[in-house]
Structure 1
């Protein structure tokens, strides 16, 4: 190889490295999920940043067809946000890249309805990621599945919508360097009503992990699912403003709690003259005790219409920094089951059981509602519960969420080719949520036989999954 050829290759390599820092960052060695979860818990405290079209409308949800001309922030300064976060001894930020009304604040190629076609004409996600990294802070992003501008809403999901979601996530996880976590919202919530089947959770989970294996996937769905297992998320979340509070005494999972410092998530014209939350109470009642219960706390601070954080919020953040220090030796997580991320193929299929309680018959245990239960009649000594598929289906995981009774032993079997066979699987869960993983098996029926109970057993949900491996 000639000297000229070698010099040319070296020049190309140096230019590629300079122009593609994101590519270099994303080639970090893959870490086990449990290590990433512990790292997240250890971060202690971060800044949630709700900024977008609602900022200019005095609303938390903006008009999905709001005029692009509204989006003006002449003094936008992401470096101010980052320095404010550091003043509070925060370790990371998380920015709302797209909220429920469907307005992306990055340079997306998926829709003309985005920040680059506003008077601002600046990629806010890039400015945020650059500023937070420059200040030594980790970067997380928020993304809403619900998108009322583009029609991604209940009963209207199309393949084109799913493609748009995948394309937008690909942009966010390709063009902005290493993303520590992606916080997803507007999915499988009572108010959004977009299920994990309408927009397939497992597909998006694997897409994210393919693009950035070390990126945690967090869905803000704690309200629906039991707190004893990770359903459709790498981190259990608690939105305190919606009445979701972690048990400091009993939580054993990596968790996130969130709350706005101001009165609402997005900025309101009243904010500069409205008191923010009480700092001593925030730190002493929530942040420090939650950190001691494997829970990272993310405090929302909403920039104003000029793109700056108001003075009263800046002062509160400085006060937090004087009162809060991340623990030198955060508590170490114990063992817990891997997240459940696949579609539940047992929802609403045919079910049968031994004699049940009159008001709690068999279909309550596979109605996708953890608030209802099948309950055994008190006189039955060997109760059982059974699910029947329309045709033989592959599965490799069963999740049994107990109802009122938690002291019981569950034995699983499956029916195929005219006979019942035992399912050999160790329970990875605990008394409330029992998780059984096993080799892929084709099943016509699944049966649970219950023993060792001291009161009539109940099943809130029996889920069956064909987990991708």
Structure 2
């Protein structure tokens, strides 16, 4: 009886994480270091999130309004949030965050707690509610809705006082109670230095009570409540390496820890992965004179590899124009980006390979699981070895220029150094320079390199904190997918 209880205890971490439970030689690896919570795992799987900066700044042609513009100035001529979400559906972006209130303090919903909101504009006869139109559109098109509620407020004279903490809590409650599921709340650190940890403690309690599944993007004094962190720039580029692990003090004191925010800390005490924010245009809000400066498909492709491909989630901003629509140029660029993503990653060229490993765990953790594409299976090495070598004998010679490796992030960051080689003849090995002595893996790591033609590929795990636990290995050829019917006219 005690032996059985002992086995249950040994496998408890796997049970809690929802991972397979096997006995004897097939026990699941134990987690190492900080591990993600359920909210973070769901967040990772989105991979890309849209940001919608739309508000008073759109109509004053500002990026940082001072809070004095009159509500009457808010007058979109053709607002259609379903157009926004249709753009996202075509772009394959499953989640979106709306700026409900930026630092100018103007509220994109008829808040009961201020005179600086849509209630005081004649648009929609004073009954306008962009937050509702946004969340309704998200629901209709299967998009997960999030909210940016700017902590900094240049309009409200109570900013920085306990009375402002009450005001913000009331608005937070309005948004979290009245608009359905909110999957992320974005607490910008810009200008918010007067807001103490005590304020955020109260507001975080509100989030957890009203929307327990909601991810918190936290900075500075909200660091203790952060499910994801700023990556240290507004270019959408996360570091190499990029660990999800980080000390919470580095998030709090961000100005002194920009490199840590960008790269994480291999031995950081908390699991708070990076969210890489960037605008598709030079500015966050729409300006007509930037229509010729929208990021090209190639620039977006580069950003994708350095965000999603660097163990991060990409937060890509679309600034709707004064009509209240995503501009056609912006939509076309992300349509094309999706065609490039789909075309490249549709087929894993390693599929069908015979896979062998140096230190197989055995049982149902076999190396073939690296190629099966199933969400619940993975390869694991033996507990006695933190290094390993896996060889993929391809069914035929393949030409590829992209590599993907995914760790079982539920078990924590484990691998700390790895390389990929290839063989033209199946006997001798050549290094792929871009894939040599890499460090972090995490949820997903992508590498682009010069095209090579190989009969075999070798993944060498040369350093780690514990045995490898890897979900997917793939090799791919960069290419556009054929245009889908809905993009035929783009």
TM over 0.5: yes
* 1:376-391 to 2 correspondences below 5 Å: none
Q: Is residue 299 of structure 1 aligned with residue 302 of structure 2?
A: no
1:252 Cα deviation after fit: 2.7
1:277 Cα deviation after fit: 0.9
Equivalent residue of 2:154, what SS? coil
Give a deviation string over 1:59-93, Cα, whole Å, max 9, x none.
11113110111100020000010011111110111
Give a deviation string over 1:199-258, Cα, whole Å, max 9, x none.
52222111110111111111245xx99xxxx654111222532x7852232413422101
Structure 1 gaps, min length 5: 1-30, 338-430, 432-469
Q: Is the 8 A contact 1:41 1:255 kept in 2?
A: no
Pick from 144, 148, 151: which aligns with 1:138? 144
2:104 counterpart residue number: 101
Question: 1-side partners of 2:78 and 2:236: how far apart?
Answer: 36
Question: 2-side partners of 1:281 and 1:336: how far apart?
Answer: 31
Pick from 214, 237, 241: which aligns with 1:249? 241
Equivalent residue of 1:294, what SS? coil
1:192 counterpart residue number: 192
1:458 counterpart residue number: none
Pick from 280, 285, 294: which aligns with 2:298? 280
Give a deviation string over 1:347-387, Cα, whole Å, max 9, x none.
xxxxxxxxxxxxxxxxxxxxxxxxxxxxxxxxxxxxxxxxx
Question: 1-side partners of 2:237 and 2:338: how far apart?
Answer: 24
Pick from 65, 68, 87: which aligns with 1:65? 68
1:152 Cα deviation after fit: 4.7
Q: 1:280 and 1:151, CA in 2 relative to 1: closer, same or farther beyond 3 A?
A: same
Q: Is the 8 A contact 2:236 2:315 kept in 1?
A: no
Q: 1:220 and 1:89, CA in 2 relative to 1: closer, same or farther beyond 3 A?
A: farther
Question: 2-side partners of 1:335 and 1:151: how far apart?
Answer: 47
Q: Is residue 264 of structure 1 aligned with residue 283 of structure 2?
A: yes
Question: 1-side partners of 2:231 and 2:93: how far apart?
Answer: 19
Equivalent residue of 1:240, what SS? coil
Q: Is the 8 A contact 1:88 1:324 kept in 2?
A: no
Structure 2 gaps, min length 5: 1-17, 19-34, 246-272, 347-372, 376-405, 414-464, 466-490
1:275 Cα deviation after fit: 2.5
* 1:451-466 to 2 correspondences below 5 Å: none
Pick from 84, 87, 99: which aligns with 1:84? 87
TM-score by length of 1: 0.58
Q: Is residue 123 of structure 1 aligned with residue 123 of structure 2?
A: no
2:226 counterpart residue number: 233
Q: Is the 8 A contact 1:279 1:319 kept in 2?
A: yes
Pick from 45, 61, 71: which aligns with 1:42? 45
Q: 1:107 and 1:331, CA in 2 relative to 1: closer, same or farther beyond 3 A?
A: farther
- The total of aligned residue pairs comes to 292
Q: Is the 8 A contact 2:236 2:307 kept in 1?
A: no
1:279 Cα deviation after fit: 1.7
Q: Is the 8 A contact 1:288 1:324 kept in 2?
A: no
1:33 Cα deviation after fit: 6.5
Q: Is the 8 A contact 1:145 1:152 kept in 2?
A: no
Give a deviation string over 1:426-466, Cα, whole Å, max 9, x none.
xxxxx9xxxxxxxxxxxxxxxxxxxxxxxxxxxxxxxxxxx
Bigger helix fraction: 2
1:205 counterpart residue number: 204
Question: 2-side partners of 1:299 and 1:106: how far apart?
Answer: 23
